[in-house]
Amino acid sequence: MARYAMAIDTKRCVGCTDCVVACQTENNVPVGYCRDWIVEETTGTYPELHMEIRSERCNHCEDAPCVRSCPTSASHYADGGIVLVDHDECIGCKACITSCPYDARFVHPEGYVDKCTFCIHRVKEGKDPACVSVCPTHAMIFGDLEDENSEISEALKTRKHKTLIPEAGTVPHVYYLL
Amino acid sequence: MKEIEITSGRMNPGIDPVLHAWGWEIPVYLFIGGLVAGILFFSALFFLRGKTEQYPTTVKRAPLLTPIFLAIGLFALFLDLTHKLYFWRLYTTIRLESPMSWGAWTLLIIFPLSVIWSATWFKEIFPEWNWKWSFLNRLDDWFTAYRKVLAWSLIFLSIILGMYTGILLSAFNARPFWNTSILGPLFLVSGLSTGAAAIMLMSKNKAERQIMSKIDISLIGIEIFLIIHLFMGFLASIEVHVQAAELFLGGPYTAVFWTFVFTLGLVVPLIAELLEWRGYHIPVKVPAFLVLIGGLVLRFIVVDAGQTSRWLYKFMQ
Amino acid sequence: MSQQLKRREFIKISGAGVGGMMAGSGLLQAVDFSNPQTDSEELIERKGTERTATYCEMCFWKCAGWVYKKDGKPWKIVGHAEDPNSNGRFCPRGTGGIGAYTDKDRLKTPLIRVQKNGKQVFRKATWDEAFEYIARKMNIIKEEHGPDCIALFTHGSGGSYFKNLLRGFGSNNVAAPSYAQCRGPREEAYMLTYGEVVGSPERTDMQNSKCIVLLGSHLGENMHNGQVQEFVEAVAGGASVITVDPRFSTAASKSKYWLPIKPATDLALLLAWIHVIIYEELYDKEYVEQYTYGFEQLKASVKHNTPEWAYPITTIKPHLIRETAREMARYAPATLVHPGRHVTWYGDDTQRVRANAILNALLGSWGRRGGFYAPAKAKVKKPQIPDYPEFKRSWRDAFPGKYPLANLAISSGICDATIPTPERDCSFKGWIVYGTNLPLTLPQPEKTYEAIQNLDLLVAVDIMPSEITGWADVVLPECTYLERYDDLRISQGRVPTVALRAPAFKPKYDSKPAYWMDRELSKKLNLQHYFPHETMESYLNERLKSIGSSLEELQQIGVKRLDNLYSLYYLNGEDYTFATASGKIELYSTLLAEAGYDPIPKYKAHEEPPEGYYRLVYGRAPMHTFGRTINNPHLHDLKSENEVWINRKVAELWGIRDGEYIILENQDGKQSNRIKVKVTERIRHDTVYMVHGFGHTDKRMRRAYNKGADDNALISKVHVDPIMGGTGMRGNFVTFKREAA
């Protein structure tokens, strides 16, 4: 059984937003919406500054509050721990949206709730998600944590890393290499 | 000195710049849920205590409104759904982890129960009344015979309904302001209080109004205690909870909350009811009306403020 | 209709036949949901996908890629794995290129300016009418003033056909703003020093650099794809980066040293670095000995340029200047002092970039691994065309004795020479403007507007209704790069490559490829012998045959890599004669000395902002190419307006809050459109910054219209580089005004 995860190398990411556009075209995300986005976080005061650039998206949490709060099972865990929304079961109650500490979900103009799928359709074909596959600076790694020799397992073994708000207790599966 | 400056390329409507997943529909629905829970609770309680004739408005008349109210509340909830044609999916599964799910099921049971409960009082309220078909008359007789069972069920379900309106929100860890176990009891007590207020407004019986007023005094007292407790809890907690509390302690919700909910919705009615108890002549409609408005505003503010409070992306506000 | 229109009015909104009226408020809702996608597990079979080879036209980097269609509908564009410009990965603009095709605001039909009820409007025209009109006007100008009174401004692939047409017509006045408004000083400075230009894509060997010095280059924010990739590879590999920028740029955040220099003093820092490297004897002695000319003169010239001298000028502390100079020397020759790209800053830009070139020479990085490599370029013969007629006059005649070392036409100069003066016997009477939005491109837009008023003919060829089209007599709607063939992409790099652009879609509306336009126009002008190929297909096929390939092969493979016959690194002791007067790398420039300029760069102080004013610097955002992409539905989503960056303390002083809108006013009282404030620690207190390309004024671009501010409108003062005519644009100062209530 696989456990899919993603790692974003904050050293490599320049925040170009290519991941955002690639996701929009690959997944036909309507203009005006996005499943992934860029955050630039600067700390310090001039001229002692530090900046971390992150490409963010659904964290495909181990203990996903969206799946827990969904009244219809539309939000569910798919193979490899990928959290998905079944459009035909979603009633649009938005409980999952309010339950997500990462604000990763939104209401698609067609009414159902939408978010990152880790491009499961591509993953099934053995490809990387669209965002990972286009990243000009190779700042993203996608892979299986159960496979000890995968690039992502290797990266997490050798690099310092973090997840976003681990204290929310959701056990996120998008890692940030520092 | 350290400071954080964040820029983002995100643009999902309803999420950014601040979460706005739920508009007016949800607070209206929560308010009505609490109100109905209050009315049904007191109706069943006084029936069981054998006060049916002493307090007829409480036991017999007020419940007549509950199916209508519930229908309005459910309609508001329906309006909020963005994928409406699929709403029936709610009833193809039971998900105990999801308050939205068990709330939906509770409503599915309490709604017909409120209809039946009201129906059994029809003939007593309207002596001329006749269910046109005989099987309905027989059904009425049958339910009337089992009123005690109905009443116990109502007490049980109305407490669940009242609590649920708060737990629906407090289950969301992602929204620090909602994420407190006080919200369940607070909304339950507030619901009971609005129920009592509604009965006070309807009742023409002075003794009935007075007993409801006395009950209301203690409910308001508990509410004030819970609200203070709520903020104490937040302030003693982690950063995001402190920030959530600050929304009300100097932040954007300060004026509207402390004026409309706390002062006009709780303190003023409490004083009015206490004064009336002491014999001052104050029209009962005033505090009752204020309690109802206060309860409604409370839900609007809590729903809104909860969505404002978040773990990440505070820069977007 | 042939009446002369007295004064050109800017045609703002849809005239008689343009496009169709605005679709109310629905413009952002104009989304096609006809192909919804479910992401549940029983997912999408990859049915009916097909791909077409292209190279990108969203910027000048021209990455090669594939355009995908799904069920006959546009789907996505991805990079070509064999392409050295992108290495198979596009930037956001390339990925969002599909939006250029789907944008509903595109120009749809040819338009001709007419007078109607006392108002100038555009009327829809047929292509034949448009060509008739242009040919007639061109012939009148030819008869009355001579063919060389028509000039071409060009930026982009299709410009070459217009160039061919215009040269056949008898005018060689072809200018690209990429020269005098961008990288001209760099190319001339490197030409003067090494006898060769840097070129594009830059021949920098960053992927092998151990130390990279960036002077104002904001790599990562300017998303020159292959270059950013190499930069990040170097960073990830632990390269030491030194970034000199008044702003904490993305590149600065990846750097070991960030030197927040006082703007306009870069030359002082470069001279101080040169001083340290020479006087601490850190330079590559053998390299300098073997390949350079004028070292002793240089040494004498920079004797006084100590770090202590530079400190009060640059505000960079002496020990940091020394430390960074040593850092460069430590990794030399794998140290790259990046030559920059947009370098028209202060009017002494050729001299500043000369100092940059000299520093690289002292480090021995030119022609060495980790510095600059020898670029390879595929040789693919062009089909023969007849010789052009002799050109009688050129733009140069308008400026006797000026800009002696300019090797290319200066677009701002052509603009100046369009405004008649008593001294000049002839001014430009006709402009053809291809793919460049002059009002937002040339500094001093008022001058551009004045020049436009003196024209007898202004033809604008564009895809979008950009500002320049509002001033045109004839507007020719070009189809996007996704709907046409173009000439082969043959750009320099480590490997010689040839890339094909083939149409993935049929041209939308009544838009046409530039090649077709020029060929049709050539018939009207009796110049069709310059366009012997009826179609691009036959042209391309003939061209490709010369390298033993064919159009069919390129359609299959998209990119063809050829063998590089030369070595990338050629100055490791080998004999080499440079194409300079001395045959060496000229630290001391004989050409500059002859022309009467400083043969070795000398620092001269520039004007400083007056009290209450801040120096305006501008730059790029990764998801946009100047003003050209702002209306693209995907890219507009990512950045719909620009912000003015103001240092936090300065903002506090002015009582300006983050996110509020203000107006900028420059030293000449020119005001900007309203612009959002970004209060930040990431910029010096004496400088403000904004991204270029926003503040569009043409309502026909419904997304971009009126969003953000145009920095160009604030650039009313230009410091012209006397050596080559580049327009220094960073000598403008702004203050803050509240919006009128």
Domain annotation for chain A: domains and CATH numbers: 4-177 (3.30.70.20)
A100 touches chain B (CB under 8 A): yes
The per-residue pLDDT for range C683-725, each reduced to its tens digit, is: 999 999 999 999 999 999 999 999 999 999 999 999 999 999 9
Q: Would the pLDDT of C619 be above 60?
A: yes
CB < 8 Å to A167, chain B: 238
Nearest by CB to residue B3, choosing from C637, C638, C681, is: C681
pTM: 0.91
User: Residue range B271-293: average pLDDT?
Assistant: 89
CB pair distance less than 8 Å for B171 and A17: no
**Rounded Cα gap, residues B110 and B154, in angstroms:** 7
Pairing verdict, β C430-434 and C150-154:
parallel
* Sign of the torsion formed by the C-alpha atoms of C285, C288, C293 and C296: negative
CB < 8 Å to A50, chain C: 253
CATH number 1.10.645.10 is the correct assignment for the domain at C614-738:
no
The per-residue pLDDT for range B110-121, each reduced to its tens digit, is: 999 999 999 999
* Sign of the torsion formed by the C-alpha atoms of C148, C152, C158 and C160: positive
pLDDT for B315 equals 61
Q: How confident is the model at residue C740 (pLDDT cuts 50, 70, 90)?
A: confident
Q: Would the pLDDT of C31 be above 50?
A: no
Instruction: Convert A33-94 into a string of H (helix), E (strand) and C (coil).
Output: CCCEEEEEEEEEECCEEEEEEEEEECCCCCCCHHHHHCCCCCEEECHHHCEEECCCCCCCCC
Q: Which CB contacts under 8 angstroms, 24+ apart, belong to B114-117?
A: B114/B36, B114/B40, B114/B63, B114/B66, B114/B67, B114/B70, B114/B154, B115/B67, B116/B143, B116/B150, B117/B40, B117/B43, B117/B44, B117/B63, B117/B66, B117/B150, B117/B151, B117/B154
Mean pLDDT of chain B, nearest integer: 91
Nearest by CB to residue C31, choosing from A30, A46, A135, is: A30
> Chains contacting C with at least 3 CB pairs below 8 Å?
A, B
Element (H, E) at C151: strand C150-154
Give the strand order in the sheet containing C430-434: C119-124, C111-116, C474-477, C457-462, C430-434, C150-154, C174-175
Q: Would the pLDDT of C9 be above 80?
A: no
Class of domain C192-373+575-595: alpha beta
Q: Would the pLDDT of A105 be above 80?
A: yes
User: Residue range C587-600: average pLDDT?
Assistant: 95
Percent of chain C with pLDDT over 90: 83
The per-residue pLDDT for range C469-524, each reduced to its tens digit, is: 999 999 999 999 999 999 999 989 999 999 999 999 999 999 999 999 999 999 99
User: Residue range C433-452: average pLDDT?
Assistant: 92
DSSP secondary structure string for all residues of C192-248: HHHSS--TTTT-B-GGG-SEEEEES--BTTB--HHHHHHHHHHHHTT-EEEEE-SB-
What residue segments make up the domains of chain C, in order of their start?
A: 111-172+394-493+495-561, 192-373+575-595, 614-738
For residues B1 and B168, the model is more confident at B168
The per-residue pLDDT for range B128-172, each reduced to its tens digit, is: 888 788 888 888 888 888 999 999 999 999 999 999 989 999 989
Q: What is the DSSP letter of C3?
A: P
User: Residue range C444-466: average pLDDT?
Assistant: 94
pLDDT for C597 equals 96
Query: How many CB atoms sit inside 10 A of residue C252's CB?
Result: 25
In 3D space, the residue among C684, C682, C626 whose CA is nearest the CA of residue C252 turns out to be C682
User: Cα-Cα-Cα-Cα dihedral of B6, B9, B14, B16, to 10°?
Assistant: 10
Q: Would the pLDDT of B77 be above 80?
A: yes
Give B200→chain A minimum CA distance, Å.
34
User: Residue range C454-466: average pLDDT?
Assistant: 95
Give the strand order in the sheet containing A174-177: A140-144, A4-9, A174-177, A161-162
pLDDT for C570 equals 94
Q: Would the pLDDT of B91 be above 60?
A: yes
B146 touches chain A (CB under 8 A): no
The per-residue pLDDT for range C509-522, each reduced to its tens digit, is: 999 999 999 999 99
pLDDT for C331 equals 97
Give C679→chain B minimum CA distance, Å.
9
The per-residue pLDDT for range A31-79, each reduced to its tens digit, is: 999 999 999 999 999 999 999 999 999 999 999 999 999 999 999 999 9
pLDDT for C29 equals 34
Q: How confident is the model at residue C40 (pLDDT cuts 50, 70, 90)?
A: very low
Nearest by CB to residue B5, choosing from C638, C639, C680, is: C680
pLDDT for B292 equals 96
pLDDT for A145 equals 96
Query: How many CB atoms sit inside 10 A of residue B268's CB?
Result: 16
In 3D space, the residue among A31, A35, A23 whose CA is nearest the CA of residue A130 turns out to be A23
Q: Would the pLDDT of C4 be above 60?
A: no
Q: Would the pLDDT of C14 be above 90?
A: no
CB pair distance less than 8 Å for A25 and C223: no
**Rounded Cα gap, residues C535 and C351, in angstroms:** 46
pLDDT for A139 equals 97
Assess contact for C252 and C258: CB atoms under 8 A.
yes
**Between chain A and chain C, how many beta carbons pairs sit less than 8 Å apart?**
157
Q: How confident is the model at residue C45 (pLDDT cuts 50, 70, 90)?
A: very low
**Rounded Cα gap, residues A100 and C112, in angstroms:** 55
- CB-facing half-sphere around the CA of C479: CA atoms within 13 A: 21
**Rounded Cα gap, residues C125 and C107, in angstroms:** 12
Burial of C488 (0-12, 13-18, 19+ CB in 10 A): buried
Percent of chain B with pLDDT over 90: 70
CB < 8 Å to A87, chain C: 38-40
pLDDT for C489 equals 96
User: Residue range B61-66: average pLDDT?
Assistant: 94
Q: Would the pLDDT of C46 be above 70?
A: no
pLDDT for C394 equals 82
- CB-facing half-sphere around the CA of C420: CA atoms within 13 A: 10
CB pair distance less than 8 Å for A34 and C96: no
User: Residue range C339-368: average pLDDT?
Assistant: 97
User: Per CATH, which fold does C111-172+394-493+495-561 belong to?
Assistant: Rossmann fold (3.40.50)
Give B78→chain C minimum CA distance, Å.
24
* Best residue of A9, A12, A13, A14 to probe chain C, by most C CBs closer than 10 Å: A14
The per-residue pLDDT for range C104-156, each reduced to its tens digit, is: 999 999 999 998 888 899 999 999 999 999 999 999 999 999 999 999 999 99
Mean pLDDT of chain C, nearest integer: 91
Indicate if ipTM > 0.90.
Answer: yes
Point out the least confidently predicted range of B136-145, C328-337, C358-367, C603-612: B136-145
pLDDT for B141 equals 86
CATH number 1.20.1630.10 is the correct assignment for the domain at B25-316:
yes
Give C178→chain A minimum CA distance, Å.
23
Q: What is the DSSP letter of B260?
A: I
B25 touches chain A (CB under 8 A): no
Strands (E) across C372-518 are located at 430-434, 457-462, 474-477, 497-499
